Amino acid sequence: MSTDSDLMAGADTHDVTVTVNGTAYRRTVEGRMLLSDFLRHELLLAGTHVGCEHGVCGACTVIYDGVAVRSCLMFAPQADGHAIMTVEGLAPDVEHMHPLQEAMRECHGLQCGYCTPGILMTMKAFLEENPSPDEAQIREALSGNLCRCTGYQHIVAAMKLAAERLRG
């Protein structure tokens, strides 16, 4: 596959070896390539969405070395040697959705779905650290993810349901 970086003679290129959703990938990219673009355009994992591209909206949130981060505020070479989980890693197929995804569907926690991957990754990391959150904690955890459709009520309800099911 030809990329911009292949075409730019003398460009600042770097070998990046990264594990995403348990699979090792190796690519050669420009240093300025955002991690969000790397995931989408180089690895073709387009489930990670790009909204504002300056760290405000949270749509591009992925789990990086175990914590939720904005992938639009990192450069791809920074991920060399690190492990990332994207929304594609949540479930093996549509028949076996993650409890977070099931709860979002049941509670109508999404409409257009653009913000959803970021919310799922934020909340996956959050619920692992806080298995029994109260509503205020859920809202605080969601504060870095903008949703312009739902008004958040159904997302909060979905997170309560998911937390309950994940506790078992």
78 binds another protein (CB under 8 A): yes
163 binds another protein (CB under 8 A): no
The owner of tokens 């730019």 is 8
Scanning 18-26, 95-103, 139-147, 149-157 for contacts with another protein by CB under 8 A, the matching segment is: 139-147
47 binds another protein (CB under 8 A): no
Structure tokens at 144: 């870095």
Scanning 69-77, 93-101, 103-111, 148-156 for contacts with another protein by CB under 8 A, the matching segment is: 69-77
Backbone phi and psi for residue 149, each to the nearest 5 degrees, phi listed first = -100, -55
Q: What share of the chain is helix, strand, coil (3-state, %, to 5)?
A: 40, 15, 40
140 binds another protein (CB under 8 A): yes
Rounded distance between C-alpha atoms, residue 91 and residue 97, angstroms: 5
Binder of another protein out of 126, 127, 150, 157 (CB under 8 A): 126
CA separation (Å) from 89 to 4, 13, 19, 21? 27, 28, 11, 5
Specify the residue, 79 or 90, whose C-beta has the smaller distance to another protein: 79
- What SS3 class is residue 114? coil
In the complex, the residues that contact another protein under the rule CB under 8 A are: 11-12, 14, 30-32, 34, 37, 53-55, 58, 61, 67-70, 72-75, 77-78, 80, 122, 126, 140-141, 143-144
